[in-house]
Structure 1
Amino acid sequence: MAPDLADTATTKPFSALRPIPSPPAAMARPAAARIPDHAPVSSDAGLAAALQQIATMIRIGRDASLLEEGDAADHVFRVVRGTLRSVKVLADGRRCITKFLQPGDFVGLSEREEYSFTVEAVSDATLLRYPRRRFQTLLRGDTRLMHTLLTLICGEMTAVQDRLLLLGRKSAAERMASFLLAMAERQGSQPEDAAAGAIMTVHLPMCRQDIADYLGLTIETVSRLISRLRAQRVIRLEGAQNLVLLRRDLLEEMCEIETA
């Protein structure tokens, strides 16, 4: 059963990576081998096409481990479908989720010889796997591809700066509001009825414990914040994994965002 926003984190045995069998030679590459429509594209599409020649598509199940901290960094991955979490466990045993990885995100981009984090699947996920050495060689041979990748990395650095601000200076309520707005932006959620207060739906496959570990809060605080936003009719829960933003404007005010 998929995790509910009201559920706490659950632990399941890690399953092995499952490469998808290659199609017959007479068949063209399946559309799934390309970055799907809901993933970030534009100039990024050229990068995806160039990397396709060295890619292997794999699937992992919910709660499975894609890679472990300390493993040899032999591969780079890119998310095609699903959501994953990047995890660090502190010396005192506390878990910190540093990022939720979504379609279009790269995993394992580093000059280190070992992965410095663990990556687990929040939901069933499909990824493209690239041999690290061949990945680097391909990029070095094409300055346009290198520039495209650099642009993506700069975007990630900006996101890291925003996260440092979120954890270092924002209140618990501001953190929650920022998280919901960021998830809506990543998913490209569009208002369903602008005249009714910019209603939009956000898919949240992660449980409340995941959200707490990402925001640096306790699960009790996350639950209280969600209950408060529901009571104030700022959000509405729909099903196990969907949350409707009824008043985006109020969330922006909570984040101290200046709107045009």
Structure 2
Amino acid sequence: MLSIAALESGYGASRVLFGLSLEATAAQVISLIGRNGMGKTTTVMTVMGMVKPQGGTIRFDGRDITGLAPNAIARRGIGLVPEGRRVFASLSVEENLVATARGGARPGGWTLRRVFELFPRLEERRRQLARTLSGGEQQMLAIGRALMINPRLLILDEATEGLAPLIRAEIWTCLRELKAAGQTILVIDKNLVEMAGIVDRHHIVEKGSVVWAGTPAELAAEPAIAQRYLGI
């Protein structure tokens, strides 16, 4: 479903990605892991068209999407839960969700009702402005907003960062439910224990390229790899 080959990207004259490659098949959950500043978020920003690639290709569902505009990429079925949530602060919870709605009329599509079933707290606060929500509630809203485009690929960039333990647990439960339903997911996170329960394949990023890839079990069996690239 997603194929990234020899991706080069960065900001102006500053190169961040150096030939990064990875693949994800349908209904698979993959990760990007690594220390801060290694290029994980730049990879996501480049896939989503918010940073222009300087080389390489990005293919989604068999089509080349390299360098397309963010709105065109979203229409093709990639939903993003960005680092820092970035909800529309001056809109209500319901307005945030409706603003990105796409394709919910088809059988099994994501609708307001389905998002509220996944996150009942959002239904309780559906008329509240997003800026009045707690950090955890804003994260739920960011996930719900991404689901409302009915993505074939869902990308989550540090979705549990800075959240209270109970809220983090709720987010991981949500991701397990999405995986069970066959949602393809690319996740960036630091919690290897929780990711081990949902991730099919890890990709360790070091200085802008994938230096190791394998299953959670394979990573657990190679503690020297985790120590070298993750500091664990």
TM-score, reference length from structure 1: 0.26
**Higher relative contact order, chain-length normalized (CA < 8 Å, sep 6+):** 2
**If the length of structure 2 is used for normalisation, what is the TM-score?**
0.28
User: As a proportion of its length, which structure holds more strand?
Assistant: 2
